[in-house]
Amino acid sequence: MNILALDTAGKTAAVAVLRDETLLYESFCNVGLTHSETVLPMVDTALRACGLQAADIGLYGVTAGPGSFTGLRIGLSLVKGMALPYSTPCAGVSTLAALACGCVGQGTVAAALDARRGQVYWAGFDLATHARLTDDAAEPLAAMENFLRTCPKPIFFVGDGAALCYNTYKDLPGVLPCPPALRGGRGAGVGLAALEAYRAGGCVAAAALLPDYHRLSQAERERAAAENTAEARL
């Protein structure tokens, strides 16, 4: 089965084509352009390089969250547009799980994204099996400490929040640095996470593909604060 996988959840964009568990093509872009400028040409190049068309894709994988609200919508919209005409199944995968699926070794990988406002999106995974050790969470950075002290060693961080986490926890036993060039999300990780979801019966039709933001948008937070202020004045 041919799998097309996209990651547009963070600052970087990644695309991969897999045939089951075999990686056929992968690209990664971190040049400061918006995903609306980069991801569609990346997908076109990937399909051409593999001699495939949208009709040949048997499964789409895409990061559904957490991550940049705009970035997530770009990736999900593109997959919906490609999958709908052929009723191709889709897997909206956790951005953090996809980061973990791009890593190998023994110990623990902590996938982390900078959520701003003093928070990180994060989750812990077993490196050897990619099994979850925690649920995805949006929490203050300090909330990770107990997990990091008790999880299997060694530990390293990936994702655009990796440097923030490492600088905070580098003195804990077993915490290792990860080279900056190897911290970003890989399209192959998205594809492998999507294949796992497919085998577990976790895929959906394109129309049912939805983002999982993990917290309210800034506009929603500001509206809720305004409503609370108005109620307090009554």
Q: Is the same domain home to 176 and 163?
A: yes
Residue 144 structural domain = 103-182
- The pLDDT tens digits for 145-194 are 999 999 999 999 999 999 999 999 999 999 999 999 999 999 999 999 99
Residue 226 belongs to a domain: no
Q: Is the same domain home to 144 and 69?
A: no
**Nearest-5° angle of CA 196, CA 159, CA 113?**
100
What are the backbone angles phi and psi of residue 74, rounded to the nearest 5°?
A: -65, -50
Q: Where are the alpha helices (DSSP H) in the chain?
A: 35-50, 69-83, 95-101, 145-150, 162-169, 187-199, 218-233
SS3 210: coil
Start-to-end CA distance of the chain, whole Å, equals 60
Q: Is the same domain home to 169 and 140?
A: yes
pLDDT of amino acid 32: 85
DSSP 181: G
Residue 83 belongs to a domain: yes
Residue 108 belongs to a domain: yes
Residue 112 belongs to a domain: yes
Residue 228 belongs to a domain: no
pLDDT of amino acid 218: 55
The closest alpha carbon to 39, from 10, 1, 19, belongs to 10
Residue 120 belongs to a domain: yes
Q: Is the same domain home to 12 and 89?
A: yes
Q: Is the same domain home to 192 and 122?
A: no
pLDDT of amino acid 125: 98
Q: Is the same domain home to 189 and 166?
A: no
Tell me the one-letter amino acid at 113: L
Q: For position 66, which CATH number holds?
A: 3.30.420.40
pLDDT of amino acid 181: 92
Question: What span, in angstroms and rounded, lies between the C-alpha atoms of 123 and 46?
Answer: 30
Instruction: Render 83-120 in DSSP notation, one character per residue.
Output: HGGGT--EEEEEHHHHHHHT--SSSEEEEEEEEETTEE
pLDDT of amino acid 214: 78
pLDDT of amino acid 24: 98
Per-residue pLDDT tens digits of the chain, which is 234 residues long: 999 999 999 989 999 999 999 999 999 999 988 999 999 999 999 999 999 999 999 999 999 999 999 999 999 999 999 999 999 999 999 999 999 999 999 999 999 999 988 899 999 999 999 999 999 999 999 999 999 999 999 999 999 999 999 999 999 999 999 999 999 999 999 999 999 999 999 999 999 999 999 765 555 444 545 555 556 566
Q: Is the same domain home to 38 and 81?
A: yes
Q: Is the same domain home to 12 and 79?
A: yes
Q: Is the same domain home to 69 and 171?
A: no
**What sign has the CA pseudo-torsion 141, 143, 144, 149?**
positive
Residue 230 belongs to a domain: no
pLDDT of amino acid 224: 47
Long-range contacts formed by 76-80: CB under 8 A, 24+ apart: 76/209, 76/210, 76/211, 78/6, 78/8, 78/39, 78/40, 78/43, 79/4, 79/6, 79/206, 79/209, 80/206, 80/207, 80/209
pLDDT of amino acid 212: 94
Tell me the one-letter amino acid at 100: A
Q: What is the number of structural domains in the chain?
A: 2
